[in-house]
Amino acid sequence: MNLGAATLREGPEPETPPGYARVKVQACGVCATDLHLLRGMVLPRGATYPVRPGHEVAGIVEELHAKTSAISEGDLVVLHPLAPCGGCRACLQGEDQRCEAVRALGMHDAGGFAEKVVWPVSRMLRANGLTPAAAALLADAAATAHNALRLARLPPGGALCVLGAGGLGTGALAVAKALDPTVRLAAVVRSEASAERLRAFGVEVHCGGLEGAARDLRRRLGRMDAVIDFSGQAEAPAEGVTLLRRGGRFVLGSVVDAQLTLGTSSAFMAHELQFIGVYVSGMRDLAAVIDLAHHGRLQAEEWVSHRRPLTEFNDAVAIAAGRPPGTVRVVVECDGAED
């Protein structure tokens, strides 16, 4: 489907309601979801077009309209991309991404492709000391990867294969290694440039796309404890489940506008495989990846392959959609970003 175009508009300074902060955006990552929005994807309940996208946001707190010791004006913060109700069973269990009344930044509420954004203070975490671009990518590329890894429940020293090498795929590999340096990593990628980058990171790679990937990796590495899919391709589950050992988990993080198939059911049933969806992350995932970044175990800065100013938003989107070899994450930087 054709990619629409975005229009940059002047607007009044946004008001900061009680419980919110106004943030001067420094960096905002372009994610596959932003491309789906430009193609007119079906919005979650309660959201309507037009939307201002942008849910991978880092910026400086300009005005704080809440009593909190967690952040102060002048802090660099990362915005968690979801604002849940805080009181339902999912929220109380710490799985705030499963809240039925959840609001999404860049869908329900105006997102981070702007100079200023307002968002609940309770959904921001301090990230002083990180670069704005690295901090922004923690919000989704890293935190969603962290959630996917929680769901994958790899054993210590386990084997993980990631399908796709964009921001989230790269994030999943990097977060897995940051959490357990003994983990064995494999990936399925399309371009030689991605393959080279991941090999340098210690990942066994099948290059050339999904077809035949499982057979090749099974032969070279044996079966996997988990497969995480961020490839955005409808064929990924059917190929990926054949990589799993008995009891293995397939974690689906792709948004695909197509019917999914899992291949034949016999192996799925007889091997007690599990198929799990992953949606964004909870606050604890974001806190965990910020902590990994602060300790130098996660270098999200390395995922920035392209930078564009906000005035060149449509160009940033075209790069993210075209994915020239070497593309990982495109980051939009606002004027005056001290990077």
List of residues contacting Zn ion (CB under 5 A): 31, 33, 84-85, 88, 91, 99, 140
For the bound state, the minimum distance from the C-beta of residue 266 to Zn ion, rounded and expressed in Å, comes to 35
CB closer to Zn ion out of 140 and 229: 140
CB closer to Zn ion out of 70 and 85: 85
For the bound state, the minimum distance from the C-beta of residue 269 to Zn ion, rounded and expressed in Å, comes to 33
- Give the C-alpha separation, 279 to 74, whole Å: 31
For the bound state, the minimum distance from the C-beta of residue 13 to Zn ion, rounded and expressed in Å, comes to 27
CB closer to Zn ion out of 61 and 91: 91
- Give the C-alpha separation, 309 to 197, whole Å: 26
- Give the C-alpha separation, 192 to 207, whole Å: 6
Q: How many helices (H) and strands (E) does the chain have?
A: 11, 15
For the bound state, the minimum distance from the C-beta of residue 102 to Zn ion, rounded and expressed in Å, comes to 7
For the bound state, the minimum distance from the C-beta of residue 30 to Zn ion, rounded and expressed in Å, comes to 9
Nearest to 55 by CA among 113, 122, 95: 113
Nearest to 317 by CA among 11, 28, 16: 28
- Give the C-alpha separation, 134 to 58, whole Å: 9
Give the type of residue at 34.
D
Is the preceding omega at residue 50 within 30 degrees of 0, hence cis?
yes
CB closer to Zn ion out of 57 and 217: 57
- What are the beta bridge partners of residue 23? 61, 117
CB closer to Zn ion out of 76 and 99: 99
- Give yes or no for a contact between 36 and 25, defined as CB atoms under 8 angstroms apart: no
The encoded tokens of residue 12 equal: 């009044």
- Give the C-alpha separation, 108 to 82, whole Å: 10
Look at residue 285 and give its three-state secondary structure: helix
For the bound state, the minimum distance from the C-beta of residue 86 to Zn ion, rounded and expressed in Å, comes to 6
CB closer to Zn ion out of 125 and 137: 137
CB closer to Zn ion out of 248 and 253: 253
- Give yes or no for a contact between 73 and 17, defined as CB atoms under 8 angstroms apart: no
For the bound state, the minimum distance from the C-beta of residue 58 to Zn ion, rounded and expressed in Å, comes to 14
